[in-house]
A and B are shown apart, each in its own frame.
Chain A
Amino acid sequence: MSEKSDKNGEGDHMVLKMLTGSQAVAWAARLARAEYIPAYPITPQTEIIEILSEWVRKGEMEAIFVQMESEHSLLTAAGTAAATGARVFTATSSQGLLYGFEMLYSIAGWRAPLVLVNVARALAAPITLEPDHNDVLAARDSGFLQFHAESVQEALDFVLLAYRVAEDNRVLLPAIVNIDGFHLSFTRERVDLPEQSTVDEFLPEYKPVNPIRASEPVAKGIPVLIPPLYSFFKYQMHMASRNALNVFREAAKDFEKMFFRSYATVEEYMLDDADTVIVMSNSFAAVGKQAVNAMREEGRKVGLLRIRLFRPFPTDDIVKSLRGKKCVVVVDQNISIGKGGITCPEIAEALYHLEDRPKVILPVIAGLGGKSISLEEFRHAVRVAERLASLKAGPDGPLLLFREDEAMLVDSLLKIASGG
C-alpha cells in the first residue's frame, strides 16, 4: 500500500491544489490509509464516495469499498469494522444521517473510533438541498466527537486530526467531521495537500482495544440491565470525550510541527479589543468575518469567535474568549423548534458563573436551509444586542432576520403556491 500511496505525496514538499470539499475529505481518507469504506449515495455527499470508489477501482487506494443498501447498514458496517480494528471512513448527509441515527449511539457505545464526514444539508420537511446544522447537531448527544470545518483546508485537516483523536486510547470514540453542502463540498479552494510520509508519521497505525477477532471472542456493547452499570458506562464515555479536548490540543501541536497549520478548539477573529462578539461555526463563519471587517471600518468594536470542536464542547476556551465582553451574538444555523438555537444555551451556560460575564447574549437564527446572511443582518443583530445592553434588558427570543427583498420573494412565492 505504501508504494502505491506514496504516489500521492509527489515528492517531499506539499502540493498546492484547487480542491472541492468532497475531494479534500476523500484525499484525507486516502492519506489516512482508510481500509474500509462503506458507502451510500445522497446529495450533496455522493461526490466523496464516487471519488473513493474510483481510486479503489483503479488500485490507487488500497481499501475495501462496499456499496450498502441504506445508511443504517452503512453505519452498522462502519462501526463493526472499526470494532475489528480496521480504520474506517464513511460519509453521509442529512436524511441519510437520520436514517442511520440509531447506530450512532451504538457505535459510540462500542467505543469504536471511525471518521464519518457529514455533508450538512437541512432536514425535511419542507425539503431542500442547501445546508444548515440540524442534521449534524441531531447527533450532538450520541458520543461522536464533532469537528466543524470552515474551509476546504480545514475539512481535509480535520479528518486527519479526527482519526488521531478518536483512536487515542484516552478517547476511543467515533468522530464526525462536518462540512457544509455546496458551500464547501462543491466549492474549490486552495488546499495544501499533505504528503503521505508526513501523514503516516502524524497518524500511526490504529491499535484497537479488545478488537473482535475470530480466535478471541469479545462481546461489545453488552446488555447491562442493572441501572448503575448503564450509568457508569455512559459517564465513562462522557469523560473520554472530555479527555478529547487535551488530546486534540496535543495532536494539534504535532500537526502544526508537521504541516505548519495551527488549530485551537476555537478561532478568535479580531477579539482582542472587541465589545461585541459574534459566535458562529462552519463555512458561513466566513461571511461573519466579512461583516466584522465591515463593522470595524465603521468604527465598531466587533469580533468573531468560531467553534471548531463542538463535541467535546470547549468550555474553557470559550470562557477565555468571551469573558469580559459586553455583548455576545450567537448565530445558530439551526433551530430547535420550540426553543431556538442549539449553541446559544451552551454558550450561556459556559459563561453563567463568571463575575465578568457578558451583559447580553443574543440568540440569532440565520442561514437555515442555506439562506444567505447579509451584512445588514449582522449589523442589525449587533445593534439589537448593544441596545439591550444599554437598556440592561434581555432578549425576548431568537431573532430570525430577512432582508426586505427576501421577505418580498417569500411573499410572492406564497401567492403562487396559494393560486392567488
Chain B
Amino acid sequence: MRLSDAPILERGHIFNPSYVLVTAPSLLFDPTVKPLEGMADGSVLFVNSSKEVQIVQPKKVHTIYRDITELALKHIGRDILSAAMGAVACKLSGLISLQSLVDSVEEELAELGLAADLIEKNVQLAKECYSSVESISLRGLDYKPSHKVVEVQYMGERGIPDLLSMGNTILRKTGSWRVFTPIVDKNLCTACGICYIYCPEACISLDEQGYPVINYNNCKGCLVCTVECPRRAIKTERETIWS
C-alpha cells in the first residue's frame, strides 16, 4: 500500500524502513529476506515472538516483541496474521485510529467473501493486537549512506543460467516457515512408513528399525504427516522460536 500526503517516490524495495514488522522470528536470520537491512537509529522493529531474540543489531532500534500468533490462534483458531499485523502497524505508527482499522478489516475481508463470523473474529483479533502495543513516534532518523556501486563484468561460462549442483534445496532452510512442529510419539508409532511416503518435502527418513526421523531444518510444518498417520502418532507443538 502506498499512501501519503506528499507524493511517495519509493517504489518496490524499501531501502530505509522506519517501521519493520516481522511475522516470524526465523525471518530475522533469513539471508534472502534480511529484514533489518537499512534500518536507521531511532527506527522501530516489531517481532512476532513470545521471547526476545538475540539480534546482532548495533543500531539503536526500538524493538518490541509480542506473540500475536498466540492471539490469532485464540481468536481465529489458525495462524492467519494479516489483520493482526495490520493492526500492530496502525497502532505503532500512531497514524490510524481504531475505528478506521476496524472499518478496513471489515471492508477488505468482505471483499474476499469471508463469512460474517470469520470477519468478526478478525475484527476482535485486530482490536486486541491494536491495544497490545503503544504508538512510537519517530525521532530524527539517521540513515547511513548506502552501498558502493559496481559495474557487472562478463563472467564467461559461469554467466550461463545452468544449475549443476543437484539437491541444493536443502540449503533453503524451510524449517523457518513452521508454526507447528510435528513430533513423532514412538510409543504409538508402528513404523508403517506412511508419513515417510506422504511428506511432500522428503523431510522424513527412516531409521534402522524403520521409525520416522524428521529433518527439522527443512520440515516446513505443513502437517501432512500428522493428518496421514493412521495411528495419530504425530503430535504437533507450537513453534515458539526456530533454532
CB-based contact B154/A210 at 8 Å: no
CB-based contact B161/A172 at 8 Å: no
Stretch of A5-13, A20-28, A230-238, A322-330 at the chain-chain interface: A230-238
Size of the chain B interface, CB-CB below 8 angstroms: 13
- Which residues of A have CB within 8 Å of B162? 111, 209-210, 218-220, 222
CB-based contact A111/B32 at 8 Å: no
CB-based contact A210/B32 at 8 Å: no
- Which residues of A have CB within 8 Å of B166? 217
CB-based contact B160/A111 at 8 Å: yes
Neighbour of A170 across the interface among B156, B161, B163, CB < 8 A:
B156
CB-based contact A226/B161 at 8 Å: no
- Which residues of A have CB within 8 Å of B160? 111, 172, 209-210, 233, 236
Q: Nearest chain A CB to B160's CB is how many angstroms away? A: 5
- Which residues of A have CB within 8 Å of B32? 226
CB-based contact A219/B159 at 8 Å: no
Give the nearest-CB partner of A219 in chain B.
B163
Q: Nearest chain A CB to B85's CB is how many angstroms away? A: 23
- Which residues of A have CB within 8 Å of B164? 210, 218
Whether A410 is near chain B, meaning CB under 8 Å from some CB there, is no
Give the nearest-CB partner of B152 in chain A.
A235
CB-based contact A222/B159 at 8 Å: no
Residues of B152-191 at the interface with A, using a CB-CB cut-off of 8 Å, are: 152, 154-157, 159-164, 166
- Which residues of B have CB within 8 Å of A224? 161
Residues of A153-209 at the interface with B, using a CB-CB cut-off of 8 Å, are: 169-170, 172, 209
Whether A243 is near chain B, meaning CB under 8 Å from some CB there, is yes
A209-B161 Cα distance, complex, nearest whole Å: 11
A210-B163 Cα distance, complex, nearest whole Å: 9
A224-B159 Cα distance, complex, nearest whole Å: 13
- Which residues of A have CB within 8 Å of B156? 169-170
CB-based contact A109/B154 at 8 Å: no
CB-based contact A243/B161 at 8 Å: no
CB-based contact B163/A218 at 8 Å: yes
A226-B13 Cα distance, complex, nearest whole Å: 12
Give the nearest-CB partner of A170 in chain B.
B156
- Which residues of B have CB within 8 Å of A220? 161-163
Residues of A287-337 at the interface with B, using a CB-CB cut-off of 8 Å, are: none
CB-based contact A232/B152 at 8 Å: yes
A239-B153 Cα distance, complex, nearest whole Å: 9
A243-B159 Cα distance, complex, nearest whole Å: 13
Whether A59 is near chain B, meaning CB under 8 Å from some CB there, is no
Interface string of B92-109 (1 = CB under 8 A from A): 000000000000000000
Whether A394 is near chain B, meaning CB under 8 Å from some CB there, is no
Whether A345 is near chain B, meaning CB under 8 Å from some CB there, is no
Give the nearest-CB partner of A230 in chain B.
B161
A35-B155 Cα distance, complex, nearest whole Å: 30
A109-B152 Cα distance, complex, nearest whole Å: 18
Q: Nearest chain A CB to B52's CB is how many angstroms away? A: 31
Give the nearest-CB partner of B164 in chain A.
A218
CB-based contact A240/B159 at 8 Å: yes
Neighbour of B154 across the interface among A110, A222, A226, A239, CB < 8 A:
A239
CB-based contact B152/A222 at 8 Å: no
Whether A395 is near chain B, meaning CB under 8 Å from some CB there, is no
- Which residues of A have CB within 8 Å of B159? 232-233, 236, 239-240
A316-B65 Cα distance, complex, nearest whole Å: 61
A221-B32 Cα distance, complex, nearest whole Å: 21
CB-based contact B163/A109 at 8 Å: no
A292-B15 Cα distance, complex, nearest whole Å: 59
CB-based contact A240/B154 at 8 Å: yes
Give the nearest-CB partner of B154 in chain A.
A239
Neighbour of B161 across the interface among A217, A233, A239, CB < 8 A:
A233
A110-B160 Cα distance, complex, nearest whole Å: 7
- Which residues of A have CB within 8 Å of B157? 169, 172, 209-210
CB-based contact B163/A243 at 8 Å: no
Give the nearest-CB partner of B162 in chain A.
A210
Q: Nearest chain A CB to B155's CB is how many angstroms away? A: 6
Q: Nearest chain A CB to B190's CB is how many angstroms away? A: 36
Which among B32, B154, B161, B163 has the highest number of chain A CB atoms within 10 Å?
A: B161
A222-B169 Cα distance, complex, nearest whole Å: 13
- Which residues of A have CB within 8 Å of B155? 236
A232-B156 Cα distance, complex, nearest whole Å: 12
A202-B127 Cα distance, complex, nearest whole Å: 77
Interface string of B106-130 (1 = CB under 8 A from A): 0000000000000000000000000
Residues of B1-41 at the interface with A, using a CB-CB cut-off of 8 Å, are: 32
Give the nearest-CB partner of A211 in chain B.
B162
Ordered by A's residue number, 22 sampled pairs between the chains whose C-beta atoms are within 8 Å are A109-B161, A111-B160, A169-B156, A169-B157, A209-B160, A210-B160, A210-B162, A210-B164, A217-B166, A219-B163, A220-B162, A220-B163, A222-B161, A222-B163, A224-B161, A226-B32, A231-B152, A233-B160, A236-B154, A236-B160, A240-B154, A240-B159
Query: Would you list the 9 A-B pairs with minimal beta carbon distance, nearest first?
Result: A236-B159, A219-B163, A239-B154, A210-B162, A233-B161, A111-B160, A222-B163, A235-B152, A209-B157
> Could you list which residues of chain B lie within 8 angstroms of chain A, going by C-beta atoms?
32, 152, 154-157, 159-164, 166
Given contacts A218-B162, A222-B163, A240-B159, 13 further A-B contacts (CB under 8 A): A110-B161, A111-B161, A169-B156, A170-B156, A172-B157, A209-B162, A219-B162, A220-B163, A226-B32, A232-B159, A233-B159, A236-B160, A239-B159
